[in-house]
Amino acid sequence: MQVVVPYAARDPKSRLADVLDADERRTFARAMRADVLDAVRAAGGAPTLLTTAPVASGAADGLGGVPVVVDDRPLTDAVNDALPDEPGETVAVVMADLALATPESLSRLFETPGEVAVAPGRGGGTNALVVRHLDFRVDYHGASYRDHRRIAAEAGLSVGVVDSMRLATDVDEPADLAEVLVHGEGRACDWLADAGFEVTVREGRVGVARSDG
């Protein structure tokens, strides 16, 4: 399956600025991206990186052999240009910050029936999609999960939904780092641990703290 992996190359993960500086956010975003690319390949997908600006290419970033398309337009426009343009074509879209994605969770998505299959994200978003019909178009503005269901319904397309915590977890905010530390299995989790982050529990709530080391 063709799998487009959108990546925001400029100032990635800005909502982590309280806990990571700009260089660290870039490194962490690359680690998550490499984990996603690895998981896509292990699930049998053929990834293409769709990036807003040129990226350094190389096997160390999981980019060895991965086609890179640079498109600096907004996400919605860039993804819509990558969707199927011939009958019978299938394209999946998997965000580059799904640090908990595993081959198993992506396989479940890829195998979810429907002319459109959706992995909802926390907070009403759409973290991954499989598009099997020409008439579907994305709109990532706003609460995109409901919008994508509406767009599919208006086009008369069947929709499948994959119920996955791993695919629902995009990493945007400091609280999300705890999810990576608890459930992660790849480079992003290792990088956070090496950077001194660990899970904390305070008043029954889980967060992260960073050691001075």
Pairing relationship of beta strands 116-120 and 46-51 according to DSSP bridges: unpaired
The answer to the question of residue 206 lying near its own copies (CB under 8 A) is: yes
Residues 177-196 that bind its own copies (CB under 8 A): 178-179, 182-183
Binding pattern to its own copies, positions 57-96, x when CB under 8 A?
----------------------------------------
Between CA 85 and CA 67 the distance in angstroms is 19
- Report the residue number, 85 or 203, with the smaller CB distance to its own copies: 203
Q: For residues 73 and 146, which CB has a smaller minimum distance to its own copies in the complex? A: 146
**Inter-residue contact 120 to 161 (CB < 8 Å):** yes
Q: Closer to its own copies at the Cβ: 51 or 169?
A: 169
Minimum CB distance to its own copies, residue 87 (Å): 31
Amino acid sitting at position 169:
T
Which range touches its own copies (CB under 8 A), out of 31-39, 80-88, 99-107, 152-160? 99-107
91 phi, psi to nearest 5 deg:
-130, 130
List the structure tokens of 84: 């199927």
Q: Binding to its own copies by residue 18, rule CB under 8 A?
A: no
- Cα separation, 90 vs 204, in Å, equals 44
* # binding residues, its own copies (CB under 8 A): 30
Write out the H or E segment, with its range, that includes residue 48. Answer: strand 46-51
Minimum Å gap between C-beta 181 and its own copies is 9
88: left (phi over 0), alpha (psi -120 to 50) or beta: left
Shortest Cβ distance from residue 56 to its own copies (Å)? 28
Closest CA to 124 of 80, 168, 162, 172: 168
DSSP 3: E
Residues at the site binding its own copies, with contacts judged by CB under 8 A: 102, 104-105, 108, 120, 122-125, 141-143, 145-146, 163-168, 175, 178-179, 182-183, 199, 201, 204-206
